[in-house]
Structure 1
Amino acid sequence: MGSLGGLGVTSDEVRPPIAAAVIVQDGKVLLVKRRVKEGSLSWQFPAGEVEPGETGSQAAVRETQEETGLTVADVKVLGERVHPNTGRTMIYVACQVVDGSASVVDDEELVEFAWSSLGQIADYVPYPFYGPVQEYLNESLSS
Structure 2
Amino acid sequence: MKHLAMAVVVKKDKVLVQKCYHADKGMMAQFPGGRVNFDESGTDAAIRELAQETGITGLSHTATYTKENDIGGRTYFVILRADESVEPGSFDMHQKLHFDWLSTKEIPEAPFYSVEREFVNQYVSALA
With normalisation by structure 1, the TM-score equals: 0.71
Q: Which runs of 5+ in 2 are unaligned?
A: none
The residue type equivalent to 2:28 in the other structure is S
Task: Output the aligned Cα RMSD.
Answer: 2.5
Q: Distance in 1 between matches of 2:65 and 2:8?
A: 9
Contact 1:70 1:97 in 2 (8 A): no
Q: Does 1:139 align with 2:126?
A: yes
What aligned pairs does 1:1-143 form with structure 2 within 5 A after superposition?
14=1, 16-37=2-23, 39=25, 42-71=28-57, 72-83=59-70, 89-97=74-82, 100-122=86-108, 125-126=109-110, 129-131=117-119, 133-141=120-128
Determine which structure has greater relative contact order: mean sequence separation of CA pairs < 8 Å that are 6+ residues apart, divided by chain length.
2
The residue type equivalent to 2:75 in the other structure is M
Contact 1:34 1:43 in 2 (8 A): yes
Residue 20 of structure 1 deviates from its aligned partner by: 0.7
Greater Rg, structure 1 or structure 2? 1
Q: Which runs of 5+ in 1 are unaligned?
A: 1-13
Aligned residues: 122
Residue 76 of structure 1 deviates from its aligned partner by: 1.4
When residues 31 and 38 of structure 1 are mapped into structure 2, their CA distance, relative to the original with a 3 A threshold, is farther
The residue type equivalent to 2:9 in the other structure is I
Deviating runs (4+, > 4 A) in structure 1?
37-41
Contact 1:61 1:74 in 2 (8 A): no
Identical positions, percent: 26
